[in-house]
A and B are shown apart, each in its own frame.
Chain A
Amino acid sequence: MKGASSRSAIAACYAYGLISAAVLGHFLYGVPIQVSDSFSNILSVRPGWDLFFAQGFSGQSYLRPLLWADIKLVFDASHGDYTPWYRGVHVAQIFAAVLLTVGLIRPRNWHDAATVPLGLAALLGMHTFKGTIVEAFPVNTFLTIVLCCLAAANLALAARPRWWTDAIGILIFIAAALTVESGLLVWVVFAGAALFGARGISRVGLAILTAMLVGYFILRFGFLHTGAPSLDERSSGFGFAVLDPPQLVERFGENPGIFYLYNVVASFASVLFSEPRAGVFRFVRAVATGTVMPAYVATLVATTTGTLLIAAYLWQRRQAWWRRDFDRADQIVAVFLMVLAANAVISYPYTKDVIMSAAGAFYAAALAVAAQRVLRSGLDHAGGLRILATVAICLVLGTTWAVRAADAHVNVRFAAFKERNDWAYEDSRMSRRGIVLPPDDRAIFDQLRQDAIRGPAPPNLWLWDVPIFDLD
């Protein structure tokens, strides 16, 4: 039974995924569209498609035309019913992310199925995923990139290339690359998978994708002269604190290379150990000041134990890798490592947990497939002590990731409370700042505000007072 394929096990995994997505979707649907970031973006796309060209192709630091196209498409499709449409798209994205992750893990029997809840808990509970659910702009483009990368991996790891896998792969790359810069990771997924023997995309398809990547850089830097974010644009974590743009300029203006290197290393380590967070060594600071919260420990233990499991997997497979004898699990772990490295490099201008969300998603898939192999081998010819150790590791992994997954839901509910209050307060805040909206904008404001505050509100769980949950 352990090795044979089981339809009921596969069905159970997808059913579990659907339940997980539906539960998170329920929590997410109760969150109003946020005032900050979202409201101004909605107003920006209201007049027409001008912004798609004006801002999408002529930004000084960013090339993100499809980001505006996504917002505009949903705006037009909603016919004024903004909140259900934007939130509906967000919930649909969650379903897609969960199903694509199950598809990538591809459980084949009950033994594999046991690691799917772990993979999904790591996907939803990873700190890098938090920004994809508690925020929206009002379409969460970071989540769009996670979806594109997961879809790309599913295509790349298909048994053999077909013309349509190439075509879909190219479309995914175009969509992702022109949405936000981290969309370039789609190419890393395709190239990385091919490097490790995956044959879902043909050589011609890979050549076209590579040509398009080169074309992206030529378009961006050669024709549009779109640069990269500079030090004075955003706050960023460094060491034990967040530095504002003037502080960053004062400290690194002469030699930003050190700051950029720090960001790359910090982003890389953040996925593997949940430390530093957004560039700040939060746990170390808490230890030094005696303010360690149980939530910090749970987060650190969950990711570090998972990382050690992936490391154990790599150790077990070292000879096969040396022989270039890769199976699907190897390819998933390899793609994770390459996406992690590339994602960290892309994060060089500033650190933010959510920027690493693509690497976080592949961490989840790699953790699940590593757990399948390590658990299986840990039991072959195992004595009582080894089984006991394996059970203990499983219990630690299961418990800490269960806490992390629950934490995601608590954060979403907290966001619902916070966003509702922000909408309630926003009128008096604008009044104090002397902001008077034009009538058309005011109508949208009033509608979004009513959507946010009309009852009944999502029940208040008050779980954010429990220190095991980590609220920003």
Chain B
Amino acid sequence: MRTWAPSLALVSPLAAATIVLAALAIGERTGRPLFAVDAARNSAEAVALGDAAAVVRFLQAGEDPQRVYPLRPEAISSSVLRATTLQAAVLSRRVEMVILLDHAGTLREPALRQELACLAADVNQPGIAVVLVPSGADCMPGAALKRWLDRSRPEE
């Protein structure tokens, strides 16, 4: 036993790592992933988590980016639990996601761009506001944020 002790000390952590990785791979192959955080459940969550590929997939599957979706607390924050896909992009402060959604044709209405630009200004994201309305949005401070809060409040 004494002579095998060094070999066991060497092999044990390496074999353990291989077993864990193999278990992960087998779990994924069989559709029962271990340790994995749940993937985004809708386009708003995908936006908030920065998963651009999932955003494109949800949109291709026909999700409405102007619909209000539930968000898990860890997606943006515990105070942002409902938002549209577009609002989620602004509230999660992801300018490239806003550009992606714009390119996907989800921001064609000037009024919608204006509203989101004001929301961006309210959450102190002037870079996003400029992307949405390059000439500068005409906003009443705090109003867009209040409208989002009113709309995103869960129905009683």
A binds B: yes
Whether a CB of chain B sits under 8 angstroms from the CB of A88 is no
- Chain B interface, number of residues (Cβ within 8 angstroms): 41
Minimum distance in angstroms from A182 CB to a CB of chain B: 29
Contact A395 B9 (CB under 8 A): yes
Minimum distance in angstroms from B17 CB to a CB of chain A: 4
Q: What chain A residues lie within 8 Å of B103 (beta carbons)? A: 427-428, 431
Whether a CB of chain B sits under 8 angstroms from the CB of A16 is yes
Stretch at the interface among A18-26, A65-73, A129-137: A18-26
Residues from 1 to 45 in B contacting A, C-beta threshold 8 Å: 2-3, 5-7, 9-18, 20-22, 24-25, 28-29, 33, 35-37, 39
- Chain A interface, number of residues (Cβ within 8 angstroms): 56
Q: What chain A residues lie within 8 Å of B2 (beta carbons)? A: 379, 387
Contacts from B to A (Cβ < 8 Å):
2-3, 5-7, 9-18, 20-22, 24-25, 28-29, 33, 35-37, 39, 50-57, 96, 99-100, 102-104
Contact A455 B57 (CB under 8 A): yes
Given A398-B9, A459-B33, are A424 and B52 also a contact pair (CB < 8 Å)? yes
Contact A460 B37 (CB under 8 A): yes
Q: Is the interface of A mostly helix, strand, loop or mixed?
A: helix
Q: Report the tally of A-B residue pairs with Cβ distances under 8 A.
A: 133
Nearest A-chain residue to B52, judged by Cβ: A424
Stretch at the interface among A222-230, A357-365, A401-409: A401-409
Contact B28 A114 (CB under 8 A): no
Contacts from A to B (Cβ < 8 Å):
2, 16, 19-20, 22-23, 26-27, 111, 114-115, 117-118, 121, 371, 375, 378-379, 387, 390-395, 397-399, 401-403, 405-406, 409, 417, 420-421, 423-425, 427-428, 431-432, 452-463
A457–B5 CA distance with the chains assembled, in angstroms: 42
Contact A387 B6 (CB under 8 A): yes
Contact B53 A423 (CB under 8 A): yes
Contact A459 B28 (CB under 8 A): yes
The winner among B25, B33, B53 for most chain A CB atoms within 10 A is B53
Contact A428 B14 (CB under 8 A): no
Q: What chain B residues lie within 8 Å of A428 (beta carbons)? A: 99-100, 102-104
The 8 closest A-B CB pairs, nearest first, are A459-B36, A428-B103, A424-B52, A420-B53, A114-B7, A402-B17, A394-B10, A117-B14
A428–B107 CA distance with the chains assembled, in angstroms: 14
A401–B18 CA distance with the chains assembled, in angstroms: 11
